Structure 1
């Protein structure tokens, strides 16, 4: 199963860049019809994960994907699923 992966460790403190990267990977998934995007905000304080979830919760972004899954085994990982 093809999936895209976005690791945010390197840009955890660059707000605008985080939003851009998230938007890019979502658009890329749609363009290539890839059903799963793995986003790794890392464990840390949880602030980055909150930011990612807030980003994904925006109306114009929410329309693009089917659902989000938090990895039960790894707190620092999220999956975004698409339906085509």
Structure 2
């Protein structure tokens, strides 16, 4: 499973958005059905930022659905359409 850990760049908004954008486009092309983004638990601010990014109309077209990982609120799972 492809994974993006945002802990190392959590303070820089531009780096976060760039990392998310690159990761999602790479994931969409990879054929993976599910990928994970790890904003961590913390205060929840970074996770809210990630979810807001994922909810943008032009980004939403890239994937099928998103959810918090069951049992681990510090992970966001992004589901892609089956490309087979």
TM bracket (short chain): over 0.9
Query: Normalising by structure 1, what TM-score?
Result: 0.93
Cα deviation for residue 72 of structure 1 reads 2.6
For these two proteins, the number of residue pairs brought into alignment is 82
Matching residue within 47, 50, 60 for 1:49: 47
| Aligned residue number for residue 21 of structure 1 | 19
Unaligned runs of 5+ in 1: none
Query: What per-residue deviation string (whole Å, max 9, x for no partner) do you get for residues 17-71 of structure 1?
Result: 1111111111111212111110000011000000000000000000110000111
Runs ≥4 in structure 1, deviation > 2 angstroms? none
Structure 1 residue 60 corresponds to structure 2 residue 58: yes
Please say if 1:80 is aligned against 2:78.
yes
CA distance in 2, matches of 1:77, 1:30: 18
Measured on the aligned residues, the alpha-carbon RMSD in Å equals: 0.8
Runs of 5+ unmatched residues, structure 2: none
